[in-house]
Structure 1
Amino acid sequence: MIPANDIFLKNICYTPLVFERFNKKLGTKLDNDEIKQLVNKIISDPRTTIIKQGKNYYLKNKDIELVINSYNYRLITANKN
Structure 2
Amino acid sequence: MDKTEILNNICYTKLVYDRINKKLKSNYSKTEIETLLFAILKETHEQDFQKIGKNFYVSNVRNNIKITINSNTYRIITVDRLIKTKK
Name the TM-score, length of structure 2 as normaliser. Answer: 0.85
Ranges in structure 2 where 5+ consecutive residues have no aligned partner: 83-87
From 9, 13, 16, the equivalent of 1:11 is 9
Identity %: 39
Q: Please give the per-residue CA displacement for 1:37-81, whole angstroms capped at 9, x wherever unaligned.
A: 011011101446100001000000011100000010000000001
Q: Deviation of residue 5 (structure 1)?
A: 2.4
Ranges in structure 1 where 5+ consecutive residues have no aligned partner: none
Matched, 1:56 2:55: yes
Aligned length in residues: 79
Provide the rounded CA distance (Å) in 2 between the counterparts of 1:66 and 1:56. 10
The equivalent residue for 1:23 is 21
List structure 1 runs of 4+ shifted beyond 3 angstroms: none
Provide the rounded CA distance (Å) in 1 between the counterparts of 2:70 and 2:49. 12
Q: Please give the per-residue CA displacement for 1:8-53, whole angstroms capped at 9, x wherever unaligned.
A: 1110010010000000011011000000001101110144610000
Cα-Cα RMSD:
1.4
Bigger relative CO (Cα 8 Å, ≥ 6 apart): 1
